[in-house]
Structure 1
Amino acid sequence: MPRILAPLLASATYARWLHLLTGWIFAGVILMIYPGTYHKSLTEILAESVAVDVVLLALIAMLPAVRRVEGIQARLLLVPDREEDITAEPARTWADRWRTATWLIGRIALGSAAGVVSVFTFTVLYDLLIAPKAIVVGVQLAYLERSFWYLPVIPLLVFGYGWLMVWAGRLQLAMAVGLLGPSREERMVEAELRAEQLLERNRLARELHDSIGHAMTVTILQASAARAVDDGAFVARALEVIEETGRQAMEDLERTLVLLREGTEGTAIERPGVEQLPEFIDAVRAAGSLVEASIDVPPGRLPKVLSHESYRIVQEGVTNALKYAPGEPIRIRIAVREGQLELRCANAAQTGGVPRPTGSASRFVGTAQRNGGKGLRGIRERAALLGGEATAGPESGEWVLAVRMPLRLGA
């Protein structure tokens, strides 16, 4: 029983009923203006009014703004499950205009039918509840008292009319979704927008992973070493490195969070690029790691996006080396050759991935620990998005990360 009565009591039903009646009112107003009802048969009235309505609605639908107005009105009164199912954009193509014309004609036709049914139903209810019953006796009109035999018919009539309006409203909603819904071009634009948003989310996730992941790795290694070494000067130096690394991580985090804010203020904050790699390498050396770096990139040669992605790739490669082979020398080489940017990050490694204690920490090296990580997958994604490729794995007793990316994006 609740499932039967719920649609009759829902506010959406009455909003859709109002939307139906506006179509009927429009048709009625046009009928009064032309062709009118004076000295005309019902057939003539219907034929002329239908012709006038169809022509007028088709002409109105040619205006691009009409589609937007109808979409907004349908969203408010037809109450779709998702507002996105009904567009609120103006018509951009002739196909949009013809779909709008079909919608207007169908809306007026369905609304007119609902209006006629409403008038008939309310008239019958009036006769049953209020109007006295009259019969002719001979040549005189005699009025009889109203009887109550028809009272059970009233709730059935109201119930039937209510459900008829429920289904008429649902039919109107289905028409709106089909005819006022996004066109194929709009769906393509929406799909591209969603793809861009997903790419942006992935980019932000990589930013946080690379920056914060590096900071946490350095912090953990320094804290572990400081606890294991009974040297006040070393402990002080380790705390200084932790402080500097944390400050840099906070700056990177701020840059990433700015990308989430609305407005143009985020464009004023520069993200780190190849030019900042010497500072990064110095910080890694200050943390106690041996780093040999060769950066052969002319100033201003790299596009900004390529420069930034290169910085993050090197940062992730060094972080992996610190995490899986702490204490081993790291060799970094960056050069521009034959229209490509080549990055190589290598460190000594053992096969098998067996932990080897170093003080209070343990060293994990080998392919088993690195291949499944999010960092290497992020590096491959960065390189692929820029038209390049990345490989990582053991090579001549070393773990080597090699990346090649074209200088001309999209090449």
Structure 2
Amino acid sequence: MFAPLLRSVTYTRWLHLMIGMVFAGVVLLVYPGTEGVSTGRAVLCGVALDVPLLCLAALVPGMRRGEGVQARLLLGPAREEEIGVAPSAGWADRGRTALWLVARVGLGVAVGAVTVVVARAAAREPLLALPAGFALLWLVVFAGRLQLAFAVRLLGPSGAERLAVAEARAERLLERNRLARELHDSIGHALTVTVVQAGAAREVADPAFRERALEAIETTGRRALDDLERMLVLLRETPDAVVAEQPGLDRVPELFAAARAAGSPVDAELDVRAAELPGVLSREAYRIVQEGVTNALRHAPGAPIRVRGAVTGGVLELSCRNALTGKGSSRRGGGKGLRGVRERAVLLGGECEAGPEGVDPAEADRADPGRAGWLLRVRLPLRLGR
């Protein structure tokens, strides 16, 4: 019973209501001919004067912004985005602003009149001060809630604004997901190559092999640092966000060289020229091949890797196959990397297949590594219309 009366927002809403009454009172004081008239006549004069003035004020685009800021500060919405602070963008916004101003002033006049009446009654009869004040406060509570509902309905974002906000939020989420995939592909590949190279260098006593392994680790690490710096610049959303371009399909020989240096033979045949592909398709194809090679190094170190790529009938076909080993056969279902490949393929209007080749997936754990293999196959149309 008393909790709403102890909240500070109740009294800020009361202040917001009284501002409406003050506006109406000032208009009546300025306009001549209302002195000495009856209360009913004064109310009619107020309506006749206030409504046109409020409608004229609503035509100013900045009026909506000012009312929105004031409503956010004094009415205390649950979420600030429920009440907009953008200027009027069209006649629909101006009409809603006019309705808001009329409703605000009308409700403020009603609550203000009751406040004056209660104050006068309490001054004449002190015994009525406590119950009358209690009733007045609860009237303010309900009137404040009603005022907030008006604000959310009339000052809240329009349908077009809500759609624009939703689209902007979706764009941000898509961008964050894209950056997460980029970090997974780039840094994950670099760490996989580094771990495999370091393990091989420790096992092999040949100094020349160790030298090549250390060189490959250094090269891969530098490239990963460059990719990481580029991603961090994008995440900071600074004006320097236009930095080094993402690698395309012309960079895949570097992937194969790193895999060979890690001890995995690579048989690659890419009958595709990156310059003939759309930029986005070349970049996504590179990431797809990178994910296939990285998975092969991670789950089947030392096993041969076969990569094929060609354009057939307006469709780019990519495949990456490696022999199943004791570790590799446990990849049923795929992880985040394969899920990222599928998302890339779907966004580009293509399709992706990944799984054991030549055996029943349920028997992949017992498959003969020499007979079975893990196959990643992706088909991407050169144009989304295909």
TM-score by length of 2: 0.89
1:203 aligns with 2:165: no
Look up the match of 1:92: 89
Q: Percent of pairs identical after alignment? A: 58
Look up the match of 1:290: 265
Deviation at 1:329, TM superposition (A): 1.5
More divergent stretch after superposition (104-113 vs 114-123): 114-123
Q: Which amino acid aligns with 1:317?
A: G
SS at match of 2:238: coil
Instruction: Please say which structure displays the higher CA radius of gyration.
Output: 1
The counterpart of 1:124, out of the listed 99, 108, 121, is 121
Distance 2:132 2:207 in 1: 93
Task: Work out whether residues 67 and 180 of structure 1, in 8 Å CA contact, stay in contact via their aligned partners in 2.
Answer: yes
The counterpart of 2:310, out of the listed 335, 360, 383, is 335
SS at match of 1:13: helix
Look up the match of 1:147: none
Task: Work out whether residues 255 and 293 of structure 2, in 8 Å CA contact, stay in contact via their aligned partners in 1.
Answer: no
Residue segments in structure 1 that go unaligned for 5+ positions in a row: 130-149, 356-363
SS at match of 1:331: strand
Q: Which has the higher helix share?
A: 2
The counterpart of 1:51, out of the listed 40, 45, 48, is 48
Distance 1:239 1:391 in 2: 35
Deviation at 1:6, TM superposition (A): 4.3
Deviation at 1:318, TM superposition (A): 0.4
Where do residues 303-342 of structure 1 align in structure 2 (5 Å cutoff)?
A: 303-342=278-317
Distance 1:269 1:72 in 2: 42
Shift of the 410–80 alpha-carbon distance from structure 1 to 2, 3 Å rule, reads: farther
Look up the match of 1:134: none
1:381 aligns with 2:315: no
More divergent stretch after superposition (58-67 vs 370-379): 58-67
More divergent stretch after superposition (277-286 vs 33-42): 33-42
1:38 aligns with 2:31: no
Look up the match of 1:28: 25
The counterpart of 2:15, out of the listed 15, 18, 23, is 18
1:398 aligns with 2:373: yes
Residue segments in structure 2 that go unaligned for 5+ positions in a row: 359-371
Cα deviation digits, residues 316-338 of structure 1 (max 9, x gap)? 01011112222121122223333
Distance 1:89 1:122 in 2: 38
Aligned residue pairs: how many?
373
Distance 1:410 1:20 in 2: 58
Look up the match of 1:237: 212
Task: Work out whether residues 370 and 376 of structure 1, in 8 Å CA contact, stay in contact via their aligned partners in 2.
Answer: no
1:266 aligns with 2:241: yes
SS at match of 1:326: coil
Cα deviation digits, residues 221-252 of structure 1 (max 9, x gap)? 22333333344443343333223222222222
SS at match of 1:260: helix
Deviation at 1:154, TM superposition (A): 3.0
Look up the match of 1:135: none
More divergent stretch after superposition (231-240 vs 373-382): 231-240
Distance 2:138 2:65 in 1: 30
Look up the match of 2:361: none
Shift of the 89–6 alpha-carbon distance from structure 1 to 2, 3 Å rule, reads: same
Look up the match of 1:365: 328
Where do residues 218-233 of structure 1 align in structure 2 (5 Å cutoff)?
A: 218-233=193-208
TM-score by length of 1: 0.84
Distance 2:335 2:233 in 1: 27
SS at match of 1:300: helix
Distance 1:225 1:36 in 2: 99
Look up the match of 1:154: 129
Task: Work out whether residues 321 and 347 of structure 1, in 8 Å CA contact, stay in contact via their aligned partners in 2.
Answer: yes
Deviation at 1:39, TM superposition (A): 5.3
SS at match of 1:259: helix
Distance 1:223 1:283 in 2: 13
Deviation at 1:341, TM superposition (A): 2.1
Look up the match of 1:145: none
SS at match of 1:200: helix
Q: Which amino acid aligns with 2:337?
A: G
Task: Work out whether residues 318 and 330 of structure 1, in 8 Å CA contact, stay in contact via their aligned partners in 2.
Answer: yes
More divergent stretch after superposition (225-234 vs 314-323): 225-234
1:256 aligns with 2:253: no
Over 6 Å off, 4+ runs: none
Task: Work out whether residues 27 and 53 of structure 1, in 8 Å CA contact, stay in contact via their aligned partners in 2.
Answer: yes
Task: Work out whether residues 393 and 399 of structure 1, in 8 Å CA contact, stay in contact via their aligned partners in 2.
Answer: yes
Distance 1:264 1:387 in 2: 32
SS at match of 1:88: coil
The counterpart of 2:108, out of the listed 105, 108, 111, is 111
